Amino acid sequence: MASRPRSRRLRRTLLAALVAASVAVPTVGAAGPATVPAPVPAPLAPLSLAAPGDLAARYAANRSAVRAAEAMAEAHGDHGRAATLRAMAGEDHRLLSFDGRDGGRSVEVFGDLVGATRIAALVPGSDTRLDSHRFRSGAAALQRELGRGTAVLAWLGYRTPATLSAAATTSGRAEEAAPLLASFVRELASAAPRARLTLLCHSYGSVVCAEAADRLPVAGLVLYGSPGTGADRAADLGTTATVWAGRGTGDWIAHVPHVRASLAFGELGFGTDPVSPEFGARVFDAGTGGHSDYLRPGSVPLRNMARIVAGRDPADA
C-alpha cells in the first residue's frame, strides 16, 4: 500500500512540471535573455602544448579579447558585466578560449596543462555564467585535491539554461552544446595524447555530456547531481569510457521525476536515474551535501571524483 501514495505524488509532480513547461515555453522563447554586445573574437591557432610559449601566447590573445569585450560592455552601460570582464583579464585567469557574445563562453585552465598526465574538464549545469564564482572555485578546489601533474579545465562552452525554465527540462540546449564539447575534447586529446582525460558533468551538464558521449575520447565520464541523461542505460551512451554517477543525499534533484514525456515542443524530462541500478553506471559515494556542494573543499564527493580523475577506485577511500 505504501507504494501507491508515492506513485500518486510522482504523477502529481510530473503533471506540475508538464503544466509549468507548457506555460513557460512560449514565455522563454519570446523574451530571451538580455545580451551585452561583444566583439567577434579573433581566430585562434589549434591548441598546442608543444612548448610553454604556445600556451602563453594563447592566454595573452584571450586577455586581449576579454579587454575588448570589457570596453564594449562599458560603452553599452553594463558596468556589472564590465567589472566581471575586467577581473577575467587579470594574470590569474588563464583562458584557452573566450567569446563575450550571447552571454559569454570561456574555457579556463587550473594547474599545469603542459605537464599534466591527468586532465579533468568540468561541464557545468544551469545558471552558470561568466561571473559564476562557484564554478571557478570548484575547478580550483578539484585541481588542489588532485595535486601536481594535473590540470582542470572549466569548460563554459555553451548557453546554459536557467534552472527555472522549460529549457532546463528538455535536451535542446544540450543538443546545441554537444558538438562544441566534442570538438573541444578532441582538440585537447590531440594536443595531450598521453594524458588521461575525464569529463565531470554536473546537473544539466550531464545531459550535454550524454549527447556528446559517443564522440568523446575520454577515459571516464562522471555524472553528478544529474537529472538524467536522456538514455535508459549507460550502455546506450555509446562510449567506451567508464561511466560513473553520484548524488549527495541532500541534493534536491533526487526529487525530480525520472521520466520522459512527449509534448508538442519535444521531449520533457531525461529518463532513468543515473544512480539507479537500472542505469548501470558505477555509483560513487557523493556524501550528504546539496546540489551545489560537490566540489566543496574537503568534501567526500570532491575526494572521490579526484580519485576517479586519477584513475583510482573511489571505493578505496
* Distance of alpha carbon 203 from alpha carbon 209, whole angstroms: 10
Residue-wise DSSP of 232-285: SSGGGG--SSEEEEE--TT-GGGGS----EEETTEEES--S-TTSTTT-PEE--
Pick from 188, 187, 230, 232: nearest CA to 209: 230
Return the exposure string of 57-91: e unless at least 16 CB atoms fall within 10 Å of the residue's CB, then b.
Answer: ebbebbbebbebbbebbbeeebeebbebbbebbee
CB 17 within 8 A of CB 261: no
Q: How confident is the model at residue 51 (pLDDT cuts 50, 70, 90)?
A: confident
What pLDDT sits at residue 31? 31
What pLDDT sits at residue 264? 67
Highest average pLDDT, of 40-44, 106-110, 261-265, comes from 106-110
What pLDDT sits at residue 284? 98
Whether the model clears a pTM of 0.75, i.e. scores above it, the answer is yes
Residue 213 CB: number of other CB atoms within 10 A? 25
Q: Which residues pair with 152 in a beta bridge?
A: 110, 120
Tell me how many degrees the CA angle 22-26-27 measures, rounded to the nearest 5: 105
CB 253 within 8 A of CB 12: no
Residue 186 CB: number of other CB atoms within 10 A? 13
Q: How confident is the model at residue 192 (pLDDT cuts 50, 70, 90)?
A: very high
What pLDDT sits at residue 267? 76
pLDDT for 7 beyond 60: no
**Least trusted range by pLDDT, from 11-25, 113-127, 207-221:** 11-25
Q: Which cell numbers hold the place of 306?
A: 579526484
pLDDT digits (tens, 9 = 90+) for 198-249: 999 999 999 999 999 999 999 999 999 999 999 999 999 999 999 999 999 9
What pLDDT sits at residue 32? 33
pLDDT for 2 beyond 90: no
SS3 call for 110: strand
CB 210 within 8 A of CB 174: yes
Helices (H), the chain: 3-31, 52-76, 79-88, 133-146, 172-191, 205-212, 300-309
Q: In terms of DSSP bridges, do strands 242-246 and 282-283 run parallel, antiparallel, or are they unpaired?
A: parallel
Q: In terms of DSSP bridges, do strands 118-123 and 196-202 run parallel, antiparallel, or are they unpaired?
A: parallel
Q: How confident is the model at residue 166 (pLDDT cuts 50, 70, 90)?
A: confident
